[in-house]
Amino acid sequence: MASFLAFRIPKIMNQKSQEFLTKYLNNASPTGFEASGQQIWLDYIKPYTDSYFTDKYGTAVGVINPDAKFKVVIEAHADEISWFVNYIDDNGYIYVVRNGGSDHQIAPSKRVNIHTEKGIVKGVFGWPAIHVRDKASEKSPSLRNIFIDVGAESKQEVLDMGVHVGTVITFDDEVFKLNKKFWCGRALDNRIGGFMIAEVARRLHEEGKKLPFGLYVVNSVQEEIGLRGAEMIAARIKPDVAIITDVCHDTASPMYEKQLQGDQKCGLGPVLAYGPAVHNNVLKMLIDVAEKNKIDFQRHASSRSTGTDTDAFAYSNEGVPSALISLALKYMHTTVETAHESDIEKVIELMYQFIIQLPADHDFSYLK
C-alpha cells in the first residue's frame, strides 16, 4: 500500500458534477433496462467528447479523437441489481426472482418501485411481525418466502395495475451524504464508476488536453448477469488497452475476514487489482503514475478472475491489455452502499493522470 497522507487531491467534483451524480444514482437502471440512466449519462458527457455511439443493447460510448488508430478504453458498468415478478398468488401477493445478485436477506420491510408500462407502482416487501414468529423455528428470508404487497386483494387487481410476470422491480431508495464525506445509497455499484469516467472526460475537456490516441469512455450494460455488455462492446471497439473501474469490498467494516477477502478500506485511495486478467505492464504503469503524482492506493489480489468487466475486455479479440481500478465500498448489493468522496476523486485523478501520460502506440506486450 502506498501512503502519501500529506498529499491532498485538488477538489475535482463541482456543483454541476455532484448534481449529475445525484440524478444519475437516483434514477433506476436495472439490468436489461438501463436506457433512461444511459440517456442521463450521455446528456452529461456529450459536451466533453467529440462523438458518441450506442449499441443495440444500450451500452453508451463517448469518444475523444475518434479518427485515431490507437484506441484506449476507460470503462464502467451502468446496470444495477433488481428483481422480476415471478408469481402472483390469488390474494395479490407477488413473489420474485433475482435480476442479478439481489440480496434476499435485506428485502423484508423495503419499499419498492415496480416499473410497469402504466408507470411506477409502489409496493413493499412484507414480513410477519416479530410477535408471531416462533424463535425455535424462525425462518430466514429466502426466495421461497419473500413477497411484495402492492395493496391489492386479488391477482386480477395486481394485473389491472399493469404488473405481470416479468415486470422489473427496484428498491425505492435515494442517495444521501453520511458525515459530509461518504456517498450512501443503492446502485453505487457501479454507477459511481460511470460518474468517475465521465468526470475524466470533463476534466480533459476543461483543461484542453489533446490526446495522441482515441479515448473511448464506455458505460456498459448487463455486467451484473455476466459481463455481457462489455463482451459486446469490446468486440466492436477492438481497443489497444482498457482501464476498467468497479467497486470492491471495504473489509475494515464489520463481519469481514481479511484472511479471505483482503485488506481494503474506504478513505485510503483507489484499489489496484492483481490477477491473471490484469496485465502486469498496464498495472505497473498505473502504479508508477500513482507514485509519481502522490496518489494513495491500495492493492487487492483476485483469484482466477476479477469478476468485473476487466475479464471481458482482457480476453476479447486477440487479447486486450487491461487493468482494474476499484473503489472500496461498504455494504455492496444493499440499498446503503457507501463510498468515501476522497476515494472517488482519487480514482478520477489516477485515471486522468494515466491517460495524459500515455504515449500513442505504446506496446504493452510481455515479449517483444
Active site residues: 223
CA gap 367, 163 in Å, rounded? 57
> Amino acid identity of 350?
L
Q: 73 and 60 in contact (C-beta within 8 Å)?
A: no
Give the three-state DSSP class for 298: strand
Cell numbers that stand for 318 in this block: 486477440
Cell numbers that stand for 243 in this block: 482501464
Q: 183 and 160 in contact (C-beta within 8 Å)?
A: no
Other beta carbons less than 10 A from residue 318's beta carbon = 6
179-to-19, 184, 340 alpha-carbon distances in Å: 18, 10, 10
Cell numbers that stand for 262 in this block: 483482503
Q: 277 and 310 in contact (C-beta within 8 Å)?
A: yes
Q: What is the CA radius of gyration of the chain?
A: 21
Signed CA dihedral, 40, 44, 45, 46: sign only: positive
Give the three-state DSSP class for 259: helix
Angle between helices 35-45 and 188-206 (to 10 degrees): 20
Q: 99 and 81 in contact (C-beta within 8 Å)?
A: yes
Dihedral angle of Cα 349, 296, 324, 224, to the nearest 10 degrees: -90
- Least Cα distance to 78 among 202, 297, 245 occurs for 245
**Which residues are paired to 328 by β-bridges?**
248
Look at strands 94-99 and 82-88 and give their pairing. antiparallel
